[in-house]
Amino acid sequence: MAEGPGENARQRLVAAGIRLLERDGPEALNARKLAAEIGASTMAVYTHFGGMAGLHEAIMREAFVRFGRQLRAVPRTDDPVADLLALGLAYRDYVLANPQRYRFMIGLTGPGAHPPIGHDLIAEGTPTTLAESNAAFEQHVETVRRIMAAGRIRPDDAIAVAAQFWSVLHGYVLLEAAGVFGDEGNGVLRVLAPHVVNLMVGLGDDRAAAEASLLSLAVAPAPPPAPPAPQARRGRRPRA
């Protein structure tokens, strides 16, 4: 079925919102700029979304759809621990490629730019009120369940364990996006990979097995830097 003119305008406004968000930040998400981006009047925003709050939510949903699509593109293998890290690396890639979009998705934006979507994950079992966001998170939960079924970690609440992994990723990618770990990707080897190994070991995995899973992705914790070579001590020459 061909798209109607209204649906086409709706999709164009959402796509324009994502473009403006990445280019100019959340401050650009106002009716005037969005309408101008698609050559329409500001009434288009109110006609199709009821106002900016509705458009913000639609932009957020689309951002999570694209995020979930990137996670689903990660191949699943017979090593679920390696798959979990592969999901983490895809998560990292998405954030570094779309930093403004990610900040908008998780609410790290200016006042009023973010619709209230949060859930109590522990009580509700899902992190947000948006199905698109929950579907992306569920990919981590499903992989954690596979890790437990394989006997790699202790049986536990898979949602809580996935949230632990998500917390590691979220903190790491925000710091890397801010430049804390440089721009050479060294943080993956020296911070993220060792953190994931330590998390898996704390949950019951064998350290050698966890490190082997990372090696299967050509990612392994980097060895600590060698200590500086001792220097000859200088002092006064003894008197004859």
CATH number of the domain where residue 82 is located:
1.10.357.10
33 and 126 co-located in one domain:
no
Give the pLDDT of residue 30: 83
Give the pLDDT of residue 183: 81
8 and 70 co-located in one domain:
no
45 and 69 co-located in one domain:
no
In this structure, is residue 233 part of a structural domain? Answer: no
State the CATH number of the domain containing residue 46. Answer: 1.10.10
In this structure, is residue 179 part of a structural domain? Answer: yes
Give the pLDDT of residue 29: 85
In this structure, is residue 209 part of a structural domain? Answer: yes
Question: What is the total count of domains within the chain?
Answer: 2
Helices 99-106, 5-24: inter-axial angle, 10-degree rounding: 110
In this structure, is residue 69 part of a structural domain? Answer: yes
Give the pLDDT of residue 225: 55
Give the pLDDT of residue 132: 94
pTM, 2 dp: 0.82
Give every residue of the chain whose pLDDT is below 70, as ranges. 1-7, 109-116, 220-240
In this structure, is residue 238 part of a structural domain? Answer: no
In this structure, is residue 109 part of a structural domain? Answer: yes
68 and 8 co-located in one domain:
no
State pLDDT tens for residues 107-150.
Answer: 776 545 566 677 788 889 999 889 999 999 999 999 999 999 99
> Which of 166, 7, 189, 201 shows the shortest CA–CA distance to 95?
166
In this structure, is residue 164 part of a structural domain? Answer: yes
31 and 126 co-located in one domain:
no
86 and 204 co-located in one domain:
yes
Residue 101's domain spans which residues?
60-215
